[in-house]
Amino acid sequence: MRLIIRDDPVSASSYIANYIIERINNFNPTKEHPFVLGLPTGSSPVSVYKVLVERYKAGDVSFENVVTFNMDEYIGIPREHPQSYHTYMYDHFFSHVNVHPSNIHILNGNAIDPETECVQYEAAIKAAGGIDLFLGGIGPDGHIAFNEPGSSLLSRTRVKTLAYDTILANSRFFGNDLEKVPKMALTVGVQTILEAREVVIIITGAHKSMALKKCVEDGVNHMWTLSSLQLHPHPMIVVDEDATLELQVKTVKYFKSIEAVATSQGFEQILPSKVRTGPRPRAIAKKIGAGPEIQEPGILEPQPVTSTLLTAPANEYPVRSHTPELIPDRMGSRITAH
């Protein structure tokens, strides 16, 4: 895992935006071979989008051949609702850049059959060749997308009932009227995110420092779903100083020193070529290779651990699950009656 620490939220955001732009430009996407980008909503990503829009307007990047998949959407509020994630994405990103609407995928919270919508969403990701880079944010409880504490780390795109705390927290966006707050959402699963070839997470603010600690210093735990990132071959977390509040000093120093050394060696981006360019069609790869396949010096792509350690077949995952998923049984129930 790479942990990048920046002084403030603005520089953390521009680090990520610049990183994404560099990835897209090196990828050199075409119509036949688009760059597939996973996108989040929330407060932390706002400034990432801001930089992406600025750089687009400056002519530094084009999203013409970028295909996007969003993480989640509420169920049962109109697409045009000011709080819908469609609106968020339109206002902060899509209306300002040249992503073609036919390349945009956002879960339809008004689908007649939400479960089918989820299955089709997974299929669409697969059809697009998988996600090259999934950008994400987290909640203060370390949840990624709507995969709240207790979500299965093998979960896929599905219907989720929101935790009561989340509904309460959201009510401020719905005129403080609990009745109006959506109670359910569609969300990609933890596994959906982990299957992306690269995952980049932005975490800013002191209120998320405990989540960062749990996900970086502690073990993999479904109560902090982001911790599953430890099982991913290419995760990167970009944070501001405030978010490191709960980290041990030595953790902070360790990751800072790694970055310093990597920078001094000109070795900042250490993705294997397959991850950098995505699965190019065979014919094109041959043309470039012109003879024996050229090996990337020194870097072999590690296999995602999740794919081997956690080998439950996809069709076993229930499409629908409810929060809270973790229901510890009473100790008393384990004592057999005399």
Partner 1 sequence: MPSAIPTGNERITKFTNCRLVKGDELVEQDLWVSSETGKIVRSQEVFYGKHEVPDNIINLGGRIISPGLIDVQLNGAFGFNFSTIPDDVSSYGKVLKQVNKSLVQTGVTSYLPTLTSSRPEVYHQALPFLGPSGGPRRAEDGAESLGAHCEGPFISPTKNGIHPVEVIVPAVNGFSDLEKMYGASNIYPTVSPIDGALLPPKIRKITAAPEIAKMTQTIPELISRGIIYSMGHTEATYEEASAAVAAGGTMITHLFNAMRPLHHRNPGVFGVLGLAESLPRPYFGVIADGIHLHPTSIKIAFNAHPDGFILVTDAMHLVGLPDGVYEWNNDGERLVKTGPSLTLEGTNKIAGSSITLIECVTNFLNWSGASVPQALKAVTATPAAMLGLGGVKGSLEGDADADLVIIDEEIDESGMKNLRIDQVWKFGNSTHWFVAIEEDIGQPKMKSGELI
User: What positions carry a catalytic annotation?
Assistant: 72, 141, 143, 148
Whole-number Å distance between alpha carbons of 135 and 113 = 27
Query: CB 123 → partner 1: shortest distance, Å?
Result: 11
Q: Is 80 in the site for partner 1 (CB under 8 A)?
A: yes
Whole-number Å distance between alpha carbons of 250 and 321 = 39
The region of 61-69, 145-153, 172-180, 218-226 touching partner 1 under the rule CB under 8 A is 61-69
The pair of structure tokens assigned to 99 is: 């992503």
DSSP for 230-285 reads: GG-SSEEEEEEGGGGTTS-HHHHHHHHHHHHHHHHTT------HHHHH----HHHH
Q: Is 50 in the site for partner 1 (CB under 8 A)?
A: no
Element counts in the chain: helices (H) and strands (E): 11, 10
Query: Looking at 101, 266, 291, 332, which residue binds partner 1 (CB under 8 A)?
Result: 101
Q: Is 100 in the site for partner 1 (CB under 8 A)?
A: yes
Closest CA to 153 of 304, 269, 1, 295: 304
Q: Is 123 in the site for partner 1 (CB under 8 A)?
A: no
Phi/psi at 121 (5° precision): -65, -45
Query: CB 162 → partner 1: shortest distance, Å?
Result: 23
The nearer residue to partner 1, 186 or 216, going by C-beta atoms, is: 186
What type of residue sits at position 334?
Answer: R
Spatial neighbors of 281 by CB under 8 A, at least 6 apart, are: 32, 33
Phi/psi at 280 (5° precision): -70, 150
Query: Looking at 83, 87, 170, 251, which residue binds partner 1 (CB under 8 A)?
Result: 87
Q: Is 166 in the site for partner 1 (CB under 8 A)?
A: no
Measured in whole angstroms, the distance separating CA 232 from the mean position of its chain's CA atoms is 12
The region of 11-19, 79-87, 180-188, 217-225 touching partner 1 under the rule CB under 8 A is 79-87
Query: Looking at 25, 95, 257, 263, which residue binds partner 1 (CB under 8 A)?
Result: 95
Q: Is 106 in the site for partner 1 (CB under 8 A)?
A: yes
User: Which residues, 124 to 143, sit near partner 1 by CB under 8 A?
Assistant: 124
Query: CB 321 → partner 1: shortest distance, Å?
Result: 26
The region of 8-16, 62-70, 133-141, 252-260 touching partner 1 under the rule CB under 8 A is 62-70
Residues that bind partner 1 (rule: CB under 8 A) add up to a total of 25
Alpha-carbon distances of 76 from 112, 158, 289, rounded to whole Å: 10, 15, 50
Query: CB 31 → partner 1: shortest distance, Å?
Result: 6
User: Which residues, 10 to 29, sit near partner 1 by CB under 8 A?
Assistant: none
What type of residue sits at position 266?
Answer: G
The pair of structure tokens assigned to 305 is: 């651990």
Q: Is 59 in the site for partner 1 (CB under 8 A)?
A: yes
The pair of structure tokens assigned to 175 is: 């005129």
Strand duo 184-187 + 72-74: pairing: antiparallel
Query: Looking at 6, 23, 86, 143, which residue binds partner 1 (CB under 8 A)?
Result: 86
> Which residue do the tokens 């024996």 mark?
292
Chain residues in the site for partner 1 (CB under 8 A): 31, 34, 56-59, 62, 64-65, 79-80, 86-87, 90, 94-95, 98, 100-106, 124
